[in-house]
């Protein structure tokens, strides 16, 4: 397993993967040593994550290889269908998966998402649009949703 660390506006991103794909992207709060040589298996993921934070990328095309149960993978596959700049409620996500009563299980699977940003669990909100349930912290969820808004609010001040 190869590992790379990159700085983002939300902290240091830790990217892990191998020839079979990216297995994990997480954000860590502590400072870590950045290495200039990135393993070839991770180069594309690093490039695309950096482009996302620069506002130049809306979707990711590198190979994913998350580890989880079949149910978790089903939830994560559905998360990948949420368009950039859009949100969905946990209830609507449960309905899309065929069982509105599975909302707690869907929320738990969402919380176990191992590939930060790319599998966009930050795009899932409460039924009334409230910011709930984000493992990386609600402040990061708000930042990501604001970053993805298609219509940016213009500042009144230069």
- Active site members: 121
To 5 degrees, how large is the angle CA 68–CA 4–CA 123? 50
Residue with tokens 């919380």: 111
Distance, in Å, from the CA atom of 149 to the CA atom of 136, rounded to the nearest integer, reads 19
Q: Which residues contact 118 (CB under 8 A, 6 or more apart)?
A: 22, 25, 49, 60, 64
**Contact between 56 and 64 (Cβ < 8 Å):** no
CA 69 – CA 123 distance, rounded (Å)? 21
How far is it, in rounded angstroms, from Cα 17 to Cα 40?
Answer: 10
């Amino acid at each position: 397993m190869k590992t790379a660390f990159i700085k983002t506006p939300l902290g240091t991103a830790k990217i892990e993967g191998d020839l079979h794909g990216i297995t994990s992207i997480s954000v860590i709060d502590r400072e870590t040593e950045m290495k200039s040589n990135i393993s070839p298996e991770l180069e594309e993921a690093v490039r695309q994550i950096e482009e996302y934070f620069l506002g130049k990328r809306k979707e990711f095309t590198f190979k994913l290889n998350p580890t989880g149960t079949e149910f978790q993978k089903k939830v994560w596959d559905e998360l990948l269908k949420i368009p950039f700049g859009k949100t969905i409620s946990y209830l609507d996500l449960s309905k899309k998966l065929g069982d509105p009563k599975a909302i707690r299980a869907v929320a738990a699977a969402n919380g176990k998402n191992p590939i930060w940003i790319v599998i966009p669990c930050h795009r899932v909100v409460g039924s009334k649009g409230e910011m709930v349930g984000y493992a990386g912290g609600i402040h990061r969820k708000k930042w990501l949703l604001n970053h993805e808004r298609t219509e940016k609010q213009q500042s009144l001040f230069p």
